Chain A
Amino acid sequence: MKIKRILMLALIFALIPANHAFAHKVIVFAWVEQGYIHTESSFGSKSKAKDCPIIVVDENGRVIHKGRTDSKGNYSFKIPEKVESDLIVNLDAGIGHKAQWRIPKQELIKEHTTEDLKVAMKEKNALEKGPSAFQIIGGIAIIFLLAFGATVLKKRKKS
């Protein structure tokens, strides 16, 4: 009987897909390099937003550029001419998943060094990073604390 129970539990865990990753926030990251605007879209580090529309607008909402991400979630285009404002890169990853990234106007005209690129990549990696064990355990702890608080309140009300 005990073995049957353990087997059942093992089956439950076996059914959970193995490729679990810390992903599902929607991210679009954009940076400027050698006259081009590069974008990378993902649901986290391991899951790329493939074949999704990218719409670039200015501060007034005027569409400046349109494109689609490739199979790696990337899309690059030449810096548009005569842009007088910041650019906002919008990603539509389907079924209610959207994200945007703002490129300041001065970034478009600035000469970018290798150091700038390194900083941008660091920022991108930090964004794509999944939740830490601390965040997961912290979240569970908050749930239990809230339940405990609610019970105490309820008991006080009763008494």
Chain B
Amino acid sequence: MHISEGVLSGPVLASGAVLALAGTAIGLKKIDYDHIVHVSILASAFFVASLIHVNIGPSSVHLILNGIVGLLLGFAAIPAILTALLLQSVLFQYGGLTALGVNVVVMAFPAVLVHYLFRPLLGKSPTLTFVGGFLAGMVSIMLSSLLLGLALWFTDKNFFETSLTIIIAHIPVMIIEGIVTGFCVSFLLKVYPEIIPVKK
């Protein structure tokens, strides 16, 4: 899911950087500084998740966990994911530094969207909480795959084929992340409900 150096053109990289900066600015304003430890824990989980990878065909996909980060943090997921991606790029050489903005857009923007789509399901009932988590985990990867396809479209010129390849490659990750996110939110709601303030 991490775009390497030298893949995208200048305008695409610049657009990604501008969008990522704007998102980060909003995210920093929306962070609940009294619970910043939650942001740190989730950013750390995202940072480490990419080390767990699954080989699919000629390529290799890895866990991303942007769904659970977005579901629990909302807009604050953008600076959290930006920090984790920056560290992954510098320390692990995952993704190019110049592509950081685009990588943030690809992974963090869907995370914010799933927060607004599926957060209302959490806490309604155990089943709905699991379903909300599952859908957040799955849909965030699907949307990230589409955004990745869109970013690569400007160089590959074949949006549907590229996107389809990416989505197919990430189907196992969608299922795994859906299940992991579903179980995690169900578990957290039971043992540490403060992390998911449920609107009654």
Contacts and interface: CB of A to CB of B under 8 A. Distances in A.
A20 B51 contact: yes
A23 B94 CA distance: 9
Interface string B33-70: 10011011001100110111111011110110000000
Given A21-B53, A93-B58, A95-B152, A15 B180 contact: yes
A8 B50 CA distance: 23
Contact of B4 (A5, A16, A96, A154): A96
Q: How large is the interface on B (under 10, 10 to 19, 20 to 34, 35 or more residues)?
A: 35 or more
A24 B50 contact: yes
A102 B92 CA distance: 21
Contacts of A25: 92-94
A100 interface: yes
B183 A15 contact: yes
A147 interface: yes
Interface residues of A, number: 47
A98 B150 CA distance: 17
Interface in B125-163: 148, 151-152, 162
Contact of B53 (A23, A99, A144, A148): A23
A16 B180 contact: yes
Nearest to A94: B59
Interface in A131-150: 131, 135-136, 138-140, 142-144, 146-148, 150
A85 interface: no
B93 A96 contact: no
A89 interface: no
A3 interface: no
Interface string B91-104: 11110000100000
Contacts of B58: 49-52, 93-94
A126 interface: no
A131 B91 contact: yes
A97 interface: yes
B87 A95 contact: no
B169 interface: yes
Given A11-B183, A25-B94, A147-B37, A100 B53 contact: no
B179 interface: yes
Nearest to B166: A95
Interface stretch (B13-21, B110-118, B184-192): B184-192
Contact of B6 (A49, A100, A146, A148): A100
B96 to A, nearest CB: 9
A125 interface: no
B40 A24 contact: no
Question: Closest 10 CB pairs between A and B?
Answer: A96-B3, A25-B93, A20-B52, A147-B40, A43-B60, A139-B87, A50-B58, A140-B44, A98-B4, A135-B91
Given A12-B180, A97-B2, 20 more contacts: A5-B190, A8-B190, A15-B183, A16-B180, A20-B52, A21-B51, A23-B60, A24-B51, A43-B59, A47-B60, A49-B59, A93-B58, A94-B59, A94-B165, A96-B151, A98-B4, A143-B84, A143-B87, A147-B37, A150-B28
